[in-house]
Amino acid sequence: MARTRIAGRLLSRFAIAAVAGFVLAILLCSVMPLAFGDRSLVVRSGSMHPAIDTGDIVAVHPIAPAAARIGDIVTFKSHGKLTSHRVRSIERQGAKRVFTTQGDANTGQEHWSVPANGRIGLVTYRIPKLGFVVVKVQSPAGRFALIIIPALLLGVSLMRRIWRSAPSAPSAGARDAPAI
């Protein structure tokens, strides 16, 4: 019985620590970049393989277009989506900068422009594969797992403590026994 209780405690503590670790990792990846003016994004395609893979989290720092250099990985809006590709060329055309970018795993290039006083994103670092966890957590099932399941485990743990510490009523035979 004692071994079962100890195993149950260890298992519940491990589960709580695992959930807390996932939550902490997600917060660090999502919130910490904001403290430095950056933004974190989950990579959803393999166009930048091997430098950046699907499921990686990248931190993107806003920069002026003039600060971008050939070889940088920049984030820009393309067809309503954010895209992160490597800069192949930059040209100045009047009050705007014209970029040619290409994913490392792609054969085609994109040509796009941004006003000289505009902003683009510079990919400053990546965290491999943690984006898969972020995507799962953001799903309804992930939210359920991170909120409801730990709450249920905590409730069960508290109920077990209450039931264990409740004094037991004396049995009928114990009342009739003479006191020594």
* Cβ–Cβ < 8 Å for 114, 78: no
Q: Which two tokens stand for residue 145?
A: 């797992």
pLDDT of residue 167: 65
pLDDT of residue 111: 95
Instruction: Give how far Cα 106 sits from Cα of 100, 101, 149, 167, Å.
Output: 13, 10, 42, 71
Going from the N-terminus, what domains does the chain have, and what CATH number goes with each?
A: 2-151 (2.10.109.10)
As averages over each run of 10 residues, the pLDDT of the chain (180 residues) reads: 78 79 73 83 95 95 97 94 97 96 96 95 93 84 80 84 71 56
pTM above 0.95, yes or no: no
Region of residue 136 (phi > 0: left; psi between -120 and 50: alpha; otherwise: beta) = alpha
